[in-house]
Amino acid sequence: QVSAALKEGRVTPTELCQRCLALIKSTKFLNAYITVTEEAALKQAEESEERYKKGQPLGILDGIPIAVKDNFNTAGIETTCASKMLKGYISPYNATVVQKLLDRGAVLLGKTNLDEFAMGSGSTDGIFGPVRNPWSYSKQYKEKSVPKSHSEDKESDWVITGGSSGGSAAAVSSFTCFAALGSDTGGSTRNPAAHCGVVGLKPTYGLISRHGLIPLVNSMDVPGILTRCVDDAAVLLGSLAGHDPKDSTTIQDDFKPFELPDLTDVSKLSIGIPKEYNAPGLSSEILALWSKAADLFKNAGAKVVEVSLPHTRYSIVCYHVLCTAEVASNMARFDGLEYGHRSDVKDSTESMYAATRREGFNDVVRGRILSGNYFLLKQNYEKYFVKAQKVRRLIANDFVKVFRSGVDILLTPTTLSDAAPYTEFIQEDNRTRSAQDDILTQAANMAGLPAINVPTALSERGLPVGLQFIGRSFQEKQLLTVAKWFEKQVQFPVIQLEEVKRHDNGVCQHQKSASFS
Amino acid sequence: MAARGCGRVWCWARQLCAGRPGPGSRSRPFPRRQRTVACNARGGAVSAGKSGLAPWIPVVGLEIHAQISSNSKLFSGSQVQFAAPPNSLVSFFDASLPGTLPVLNRRCVEAAVMTGLALNCHINKKSLFDRKHYFYADLPAGYQITQQRVPIAVNGSLSYSLCIDNKMSQMVTKTVRIKQIQLEQDSGKSLHDDTRSQTLVDLNRAGVGLMELVMEPDMCCGEEAAAAVRELQLILQTLGSSQAVMAEGQLRVDANVSVHRPGEPYGVRTEVKNINSIRFLAKAVDYEIQRQIEELGNGGTILNETRAFDSKLGCTVPMRDKEGKQDYRFMPEPNLPPLILYDAKSLPANMNHQQVINIDWIHERLPDLPSVKREKLVEQYGILPEHSFTLLNEDGLAEFFESVVKQTQMKPKKVIGWILNDLLSYLKQHSLTVKESPVSSFLLADLLNLLEKKEISSTAAKQVFAELWKGEGKTPLETVKEQKLELLQDQKELEQICQAVIDGQENE
């Protein structure tokens, strides 16, 4: 819609950019952005405007304001991973995905907040502080949530965004940008998308280049896409996917971008409902929503079958071993020598290393490094790492079997419940939280499968709840087509940002032009 | 800030380098054999001396790192070049900037396959990369990418020859098994500035492709180790898979040495490092064998330790281990898919040839290996086998010989004498390589033709050769004329000279 408006000249890229920048300012309290690149963005918008004037826009993304999670390298712009280790680090190169977006004329507004090195599920554990869920300030939440007591500080009511790509999800959800990049290792794109009521796509492993994404777990990381609607996600996927000579794990073939058809007939579809996803801790509200969604497909003529993924319940422990092992390895480069934080301790190289890493990483990161190194020790390697790899294979095989049995798409919840208030969330430590929150998203990463969160409804408290679709490897088109059909059926409500409205009257307009495709 | 951080390190290194002598003064690649300490080339045991016990059996195995000769590094596009300004050949990946990924260099894989084939290895059609972790300033990522689990080539062998009792006429051929060849990254270089107590890091070498060759402990003395490494060096140079110049660090040899009594299991071994020429390899191994025998003879024990060879003192000394006992915490490299190679049978029909490596294709194109070249020389020119060794041991000498043979009527068997006795000893005296010889193959052939046509005597020819060596640009014929060295063929002239001599006698 916005793209059409740009083409027709109803709105110019500069106007669009300025409005977004103004919104970013008025929603600063959300803490969604770590860095806002105002000047560069305006310059890009100007260039885009020139292209439109000449009638030569670079395509549908030209002039579209976007945001990028702060664990993607951006040339000349700080890339911090929300860590003291990389605070002030200015990368000399662009991640492939960033470069691709810039090449298509997208306007980069800034870098979004996250958990330190993407380790977390709340976007609460970064050095720049927690991200606040825009829905905390929505009319819907305010009306439905019962204030515990009026004397209590209203401030403490705000809920988390989920994570680790919480900044990106909040940025899209609060209309400060039209799309954002996240990353997804165990659910880091889908989880905050669910909590913030936006679309979050985790593509098949190898479909999008990881070059320039600062890794968490190389064998599971994928750049994630956060947008306001499924069509937008398809557009972004089309411009990001495909072989990258700089990432040997990408597919060899070029990727053909696609437009999503409007599905009218789902009767040929077979939707699998994995029973293991009725996990301990799943809220009754979400369970009900999930079965309602299944009924929706059934009533529309689709075949809905219960399936079993027996090894999925081991996925969290397995993930714990594989993730920490790769973290221990990946973090070894942060020694204060070539870049990043360097401690003043100078007694010896070793003491400098130790002090640098102690000062530069938070407890979560250090904890994972410690356990990872433990699992990789010679005497433990077989017992933990090799075993975890075998379990990973079993988890992946479960999916293969289910898809081979004729199931096209799996339908599951994305999260166990709606977003928790911050004060409640931080009662538990990061590890416990991550283990709980990744439980429904994690297996797709183990198997490398594409998965998407589609915002489905509001909870009793007026907070977004999403459902997840998991597809076959490299069958993004089918996955997104089904997701789009579902999106249309559920008609997820638009967020009504009262406080923001007070600051900026342009919001309404944005709400109308919620999507750009 | 990254750029700033990097800049600091580079800047330091440059400062230091300015005052540093250029590395790699040329050393003679040919091992000049010295006294062999504890070995005879027949591979026998070493007598324990005075004690009446059974003799000791030394066991020597080698671990060799050969730098792959390639334009760019193993996983990045940075150039590979010796003695470039510090940190001038460093890509983002080499400096381990976050988010960078390795991309395997095809040329390095081909070089390893070639080397594996030349060493009769089984080439693994699927090999894997692993990370080996340790903290060191010249290892920016904190790990080295290597092939610990499934290397690219395994189970090979290398045949080499050496002479018995230092007599060229008694050559014996031996074989050492090659356990494996693995691809891995080189590290950077740390330069410790003790006076200012700082360490400078040069990352030019970081990420350069290496082949690690592991030789089984099939050798028993320095002489054998040296001969095996020399043969390997020739093979690598023939293949072009490595320049294998030890002085420039392109070929690094570590020796594992132990001694034991016959019938007993292998003794505790030590690892000898810091060996930078083939001559020193022989010395270091022999010293270490002798040291262990003496140590055990005196009732001592051998520690499983790393020792460094001190070339000035000619002995090995215990090395302070970098970080004590290491657990390298190996794990699979997740950013590189398994390395798949094909042969004619397994090659998929629709595969782009640019994207695959065909082992058979490489096999068919292997150049003649040194052993084959020697056989051909012996067969074609009728020279002695030991001469063929000498011809190949000097870079370019065989080609020089063949070129002379082509341009002269003299029989190859006679030509070889001139090459080995005259040319080679002159070269050695003046520490020159064949390429630097002031006497070209053309000039030598010219000279030998004069000799062959009996225009000069053999003694005169030697005189002419000495003149030509001065490199004054004269032809052999001109030199002969100038110095009046021609054999007199004219009977009258001869008679006249004789008459003159006789007349002179009479007058007295």
Q: Does residue B457 have a cis peptide bond before it, meaning omega lies within 30 degrees of 0? A: no
Reported as a single tens digit per residue, the pLDDT across A239-265 is 999 999 999 999 988 889 999 999 889
> What tokens appear for B196 in the block?
């200012």
- Residue A177, number of CB atoms within 10 A of its CB: 30
**Confidence band for B47, pLDDT divided at 50, 70 and 90:** low
Q: How many residue pairs bridge chain A and chain B with CB atoms within 8 Å of each other?
A: 126
Per-residue pLDDT, B426: 92
> What tokens appear for B75 in the block?
């996983």
Q: Is the pLDDT of residue A236 over 80?
A: yes
Question: Per-domain residue ranges for chain A?
Answer: 1-142+159-315+387-490
Q: Give the containing element (helix H, strand E) for A373.
A: helix A363-376
Residue A234 to residue A214: CA distance in whole angstroms: 24
| B74 touches A: beta carbon within 8 Å | no
Residue in A249, A342, A373 closest to B335 by CB: A249
Residue B127 to residue A367: CA distance in whole angstroms: 33
> What tokens appear for B203 in the block?
């990352």
Of the candidate ranges A104-108, A109-113, A204-208, A338-342, the one whose mean pLDDT is the lowest: A338-342
Q: What is the CATH number of domain A1-142+159-315+387-490?
A: 3.90.1300.10
* Contact: A90, B2; criterion CB under 8 Å: yes
Residue B29 to residue B36: CA distance in whole angstroms: 19
> What tokens appear for A209 in the block?
């280049």
**Confidence band for A517, pLDDT divided at 50, 70 and 90:** low
* Contact: A213, B99; criterion CB under 8 Å: yes
DSSP assigned state of B45: P
Residue B415 to residue B410: CA distance in whole angstroms: 7
Who contacts B357 (Cβ-Cβ below 8 Å, separation ≥6)?
A: B106, B109, B110, B113, B341, B342
Q: Is the pLDDT of residue A432 over 90?
A: no
Residue A244 to residue A255: CA distance in whole angstroms: 11
Average pLDDT over residues A131-159: 77
* Contact: A248, B3; criterion CB under 8 Å: no
Residue in B101, B143, B330 closest to A210 by CB: B101
Of the candidate ranges A64-68, A185-189, B353-357, the one whose mean pLDDT is the lowest: B353-357
| B54 touches A: beta carbon within 8 Å | no
Q: Please give the single-letter amino acid code of residue A130.
A: P
DSSP notation for A146-200: PPS-TTS-GGGG-BB--SSSHHHHHHHHTTS-SEEEEEESSSTTHHHHHHHTSEE
DSSP assigned state of A342: -
Which residue carries 């070929």 as its tokens? B251
Looking at beta carbons, which residues of chain A come within 8 Å of B337? 248-249
What are the Cα distances from residue B156, in Å, to A167, B146, B223, B232, B335? 56, 19, 21, 12, 29
> What tokens appear for B374 in the block?
């020697």
Sign of CA dihedral B476, B477, B483, B489: positive
Residue B225 to residue B31: CA distance in whole angstroms: 11
ipTM above 0.90 for this complex: yes
Residue A108 falls in which region: left (phi positive, over 0), alpha (psi -120 to 50) or beta: beta
> What tokens appear for B123 in the block?
């080439």
* Contact: A326, B334; criterion CB under 8 Å: yes
Closest-CA distance of chain B to residue A132, Å: 28
DSSP notation for B175-222: EEEEEEEEEEEPP-EEEEETTTTEEEEE-TTTT-EEEEEEEEEEE-SH
Q: Is the pLDDT of residue A23 over 70?
A: yes
**Confidence band for A306, pLDDT divided at 50, 70 and 90:** very high
| B133 touches A: beta carbon within 8 Å | yes
Backbone angles phi, psi at B420, to 5 degrees: -80, -40
Residue A260 to residue A265: CA distance in whole angstroms: 14
Q: Is the pLDDT of residue B40 over 80?
A: no
Reported as a single tens digit per residue, the pLDDT across A464-479 is 999 999 999 999 999 9
- Whether B47 contacts B195, CB under 8 Å: no
Picking from B76, B34, B38, B69, the residue whose alpha carbon sits closest to that of residue B55 is B38
| Catalytic residue IDs of A | 69, 164, 188
Q: Is the pLDDT of residue A110 over 50?
A: yes
**Confidence band for A437, pLDDT divided at 50, 70 and 90:** confident
Picking from B60, B52, B46, the residue whose alpha carbon sits closest to that of residue B262 is B46
- Whether B29 contacts B233, CB under 8 Å: yes
> What tokens appear for B460 in the block?
């005169």
Residue in A217, A218, A377 closest to B329 by CB: A377
Backbone angles phi, psi at B239, to 5 degrees: -70, -30
Of the candidate ranges A93-107, A420-434, B436-450, the one whose mean pLDDT is the lowest: A420-434
Picking from A503, A513, A512, the residue whose alpha carbon sits closest to that of residue A25 is A503
Q: Is the pLDDT of residue A507 over 50?
A: no
> What tokens appear for B368 in the block?
């003649």
- Whether A223 contacts A199, CB under 8 Å: no
* Contact: A342, B329; criterion CB under 8 Å: no
- Quote the percentage of chain A above a pLDDT of 70: 94
Query: Which of A210, A326, A339, A384 would you mutate first to test chain B, the one with the most B CBs within 10 A?
Result: A339
Q: Is the pLDDT of residue A309 over 90?
A: yes
Q: Is the pLDDT of residue B31 over 60?
A: no
- Whether B156 contacts B120, CB under 8 Å: yes
> What tokens appear for B42 in the block?
């027949």
What's the Rg (C-alpha) of chain A? 22
Which tops the pLDDT comparison, B205 or A429?
A: B205
**Confidence band for A429, pLDDT divided at 50, 70 and 90:** confident
Residue A36 to residue A109: CA distance in whole angstroms: 6
Residue A140 to residue B131: CA distance in whole angstroms: 51
Spell out the alpha helix ranges (H) of B394-440.
397-407, 412-417, 424-429
Per-residue pLDDT, B192: 85
DSSP assigned state of A116: G
Q: Which of residues 470-499 of B touch A (CB under 8 A)?
A: none
Reported as a single tens digit per residue, the pLDDT across A374-427 is 999 999 999 999 999 999 999 999 999 999 999 999 999 999 999 999 999 989
Residue in A73, A353, A381 closest to B135 by CB: A353
Residue B154 to residue B180: CA distance in whole angstroms: 4
**Confidence band for A272, pLDDT divided at 50, 70 and 90:** very high
Q: Give the containing element (helix H, strand E) for A498.
A: helix A498-503
Q: Strand, helix or coil at B143?
A: strand
Q: Is the pLDDT of residue A180 over 90?
A: yes
Question: Is B66 exposed, middle or buried, given 0-12, 13-18 or 19+ CB atoms closer than 10 A?
Answer: buried
DSSP assigned state of B418: I
What's the Rg (C-alpha) of chain B? 28
Residue A413 to residue B97: CA distance in whole angstroms: 37
| B142 touches A: beta carbon within 8 Å | yes
Q: Is the pLDDT of residue A512 over 90?
A: no
* Contact: A92, B92; criterion CB under 8 Å: yes
* Contact: B334, A219; criterion CB under 8 Å: yes
Looking at beta carbons, which residues of chain A come within 8 Å of B102? 248
The pTM of this model reads: 0.89
Query: Which of A85, A247, A335, A338 would you mutate first to test chain B, the one with the most B CBs within 10 A?
Result: A338
Edge to edge, the sheet with strand A451-458 lists: A33-36, A107-112, A65-69, A179-184, A222-227, A199-202, A451-458, A464-470, A409-413, A270-274, A303-307
- Residue A15, number of CB atoms within 10 A of its CB: 16
> What tokens appear for B82 in the block?
């010796």
Closest-CA distance of chain A to residue B100, Å: 6
Average pLDDT over residues B53-57: 83
Which residue carries 């600091």 as its tokens? B8
Which tops the pLDDT comparison, B196 or A484?
A: A484
Q: Is the pLDDT of residue A503 over 70?
A: no
Which residue carries 């065989």 as its tokens? B398
What are the Cα distances from residue B485, in Å, to A47, A302, A492, B463? 87, 108, 110, 9
- Whether B217 contacts B60, CB under 8 Å: yes
Strand partners, A453: A200, A468
- Whether B29 contacts B431, CB under 8 Å: no
**Confidence band for A151, pLDDT divided at 50, 70 and 90:** very low
Residue A102 to residue A38: CA distance in whole angstroms: 15
Q: Strand, helix or coil at A222?
A: strand
- Whether B128 contacts B339, CB under 8 Å: yes
> Residue by residue, what is the 3-state secondary structure of B2-41?
HHHHHHHHHHHHHHHHHCCCCCCCCCCCCCCCCCCCCCCC
Residue A239 to residue A236: CA distance in whole angstroms: 5
Per-residue pLDDT, A159: 95
Residue in A86, A248, A252 closest to B104 by CB: A248
Q: Please give the single-letter amino acid code of residue A93.
A: Y
Picking from A9, A108, A134, the residue whose alpha carbon sits closest to that of residue A463 is A134
- Whether B316 contacts B287, CB under 8 Å: yes
- Residue B185, number of CB atoms within 10 A of its CB: 24
Query: Which of B194, B331, B336, B352 would you mutate first to test chain A, the one with the most A CBs within 10 A?
Result: B331
Backbone angles phi, psi at A307, to 5 degrees: -125, 170
**Confidence band for B16, pLDDT divided at 50, 70 and 90:** very low
> What tokens appear for B313 in the block?
């003192």
Looking at beta carbons, which residues of chain B come within 8 Å of A378? 327, 329-330
Closest-CA distance of chain B to residue A338, Å: 5
Looking at beta carbons, which residues of chain B come within 8 Å of A337? 5, 9, 137, 140, 201
